[in-house]
Amino acid sequence: MGSIIGISAAITALLVILSFAQGVQDFFGERILMLAPHLTLEAGVNEEITQDLKRTILEVPGVKAVSPYVQFPALIQKGLAAEPITVKGVSWDSELELIDSAEILEAGDWRQIKLGQGAVLGVELARSLGVNVGDRVVLVSPYLSRALLVDGLFYTGYYGIDGSLVMVGLEVGQELLGTTGVTGYGVRIDDYTRADVFIGPLQDATGLWVRPWYEREQGLFISMAVQRTVLVWILVFTLLVSALGIMNVYLFRAWAQQRSVGVLRALGASPRQIGALFLIQGLASGFLGGIVGVLSARLAVWGLSHVTIRLPQIFYLEKLPIAWAHKDVWWVMAAAVLTGAAAVLLPARRMTQVDPVEVVRRAG
């Protein structure tokens, strides 16, 4: 019983942490993808594309939509306040085929926005400048500055975007950048998790630099992956500690049951059968501990996903970002069973070495 509890506790902790890691990753992925295309195609840093490649890109199998854009750093001013921003000039009709238009617009009217004469700001940027829909702001690029009306505010829930991105019509963007070309194309595919599969074909078709969505936020995803790996290792060591505890329990049990094992041996049980008895107990402990651990973790994840929390505004979180790590359940279960088996290997080996003669001699 103790061994089952030991394993289940470690498994619960492992799965809850993995679910947190999964939840955080999903959270940021969803937020980023609200405004970011699944893949971007660019000529290079500070380089523009003058050729219309829309048709070429659409011919690549699996590509659902394409939208050209210009993107560059700039400043936004409102009175005395100024903020460094990224300006993205888009062709709204095609851009809305890439993004989730219904979800992101916090204030404003799409009909007005689609005219492409105004600016759409992230809510955090608007808050820091103190502007709202209908207010006038000035965008300052290295080439010129231009006053624009705020046509809308968007909200993705990812501070990195909501606090620094300004979207304008493609022509306004080109004017600010002093170009007639574009800096890149955004591409939408069926399943964003398969974005990496499209890198090669798109690169071959266009000769452009193709980046999947997650690469634009590489730092964020790398740090999440590192944290996840570190946590998994910490918990694997926890599992190892459980295994050592279980091994001690079984070593004691083996010592206490030497007499019984000797009797079994004298009655004809082979060392292999005796070892198998212990091994089966270990495997059963691991399996049951794993099952209990998975069920407890599922319950804990369900409970935690309903907990309302208060975190600094930067996180935009009202609920803990936790998503059941169902893909990890199988290897975690396998780890539990292996832990149980590994824990009883030494005791099982000792039991196979019990000399049945000792039983007879002690009795004689």
Q: Which residues, in sequence order, are bridge partners of residue 74? A: 85
* CA distance linking residue 212 with residue 199, whole number of Å: 7
The least distance separating another protein from the CB of residue 247, rounded to whole angstroms, comes to: 21
Nearer residue to another protein within complex by CB, 160 or 356:
356
The least distance separating another protein from the CB of residue 242, rounded to whole angstroms, comes to: 25
The least distance separating another protein from the CB of residue 361, rounded to whole angstroms, comes to: 5
Nearer residue to another protein within complex by CB, 20 or 278:
278
* CA distance linking residue 280 with residue 128, whole number of Å: 64
Nearer residue to another protein within complex by CB, 272 or 319:
272
Nearer residue to another protein within complex by CB, 205 or 264:
264
Nearer residue to another protein within complex by CB, 299 or 363:
363
The least distance separating another protein from the CB of residue 275, rounded to whole angstroms, comes to: 14
* CA distance linking residue 76 with residue 82, whole number of Å: 5
Nearer residue to another protein within complex by CB, 236 or 357:
357
Q: Which residues, in sequence order, are bridge partners of residue 87? A: 72, 166
* Cα-to-chain-centroid distance, residue 287: 28
The H or E element that residue 82 is part of is strand 81-90
The least distance separating another protein from the CB of residue 279, rounded to whole angstroms, comes to: 17
Residues 283-306: b if buried by 16+ CB within 10 A, e if exposed? bbbbbbbbbbbbebbbebbeebee
HSE on the CB side for 146, CA within 13 Å? Answer: 22
Nearer residue to another protein within complex by CB, 31 or 265:
265
* CA distance linking residue 73 with residue 166, whole number of Å: 10
The least distance separating another protein from the CB of residue 253, rounded to whole angstroms, comes to: 11
The least distance separating another protein from the CB of residue 258, rounded to whole angstroms, comes to: 12
Q: Which residues, in sequence order, are bridge partners of residue 189? A: 63
Nearer residue to another protein within complex by CB, 64 or 272:
272
Burial class of residue 48 in the structure, from the number of CB atoms within 10 Å of its CB (0-12 exposed, 13-18 middle, 19+ buried): middle
The least distance separating another protein from the CB of residue 355, rounded to whole angstroms, comes to: 9
* CA distance linking residue 11 with residue 325, whole number of Å: 12
Q: Which of 223, 204, 202 is nearest to 38 (CA)?
A: 202
Residues 235-247: b if buried by 16+ CB within 10 A, e if exposed? beebbeebbebbb
Binding site for another protein (CB under 8 A): 259-260, 263-264, 266-270, 273, 356-357, 359-361, 363-364
Nearer residue to another protein within complex by CB, 32 or 348:
348
- Residue type present at position 157: G
The least distance separating another protein from the CB of residue 283, rounded to whole angstroms, comes to: 19
